[in-house]
Amino acid sequence: MRHTVVVLGAAIAALLMPATDGHQLAPAITSTTVELPSGDALFPGGANADAINNNCLACHSADMVLNQPALSRSAWDAEVHKMIKAYKAPIDESDVSAIVDYLASTKGTN
């Protein structure tokens, strides 16, 4: 009984399908606009945050860094070098001190 219903259903579906004559119309491709939430995308602090904003947002968010525990200046220095060595962050050595300054004053222990 169930088998008959399935076969009948398939036959009706086949009848209802629009006839294709060998070629199908390509779907129209249209542009659309997406509003992304703005969020706290950047490290706050204006010009003092330029170096860290320019170097530290390619792989993770500012929040991810700012939510870490406060560290000493030397620990932040080691952290920045870990990003460069372990994770191959393309950070210019001349930007490192400005980044460490920012981290030590924003999330520092001393």
Contacts to ligand HEC by CB under 6 A: 55-56, 58-60, 65, 68, 79-80, 82-83, 87-89, 91, 99
In angstroms, give the least distance from the CB of 91 to ligand HEC. Answer: 5
Which CB sits closer to ligand HEC, 9 or 40? Answer: 40
Q: What's the CA gap between 66 and 107, in Å, rounded?
A: 7
Residue 34: CB minimum distance to ligand HEC, A: 25
| C-alpha span between 42 and 44 (Å, rounded) | 6
Residues 90, 98 contacting (CB under 8 angstroms):
no
Question: Closest CB to ligand HEC among 70 and 87?
Answer: 87
* Closest to ligand HEC by CB, 42 or 89: 89
Q: How far is the CB of 17 from ligand HEC (least distance, A)?
A: 49
Shortest CA distance to 62 belongs to which of 80, 40, 83? Answer: 40
Whole-Å CA distances, 10 to 2, 4, 97: 12, 10, 71
- Residue closer to ligand HEC by CB (options 82, 97) is 82
Residue showing tokens 């870990």 = 82
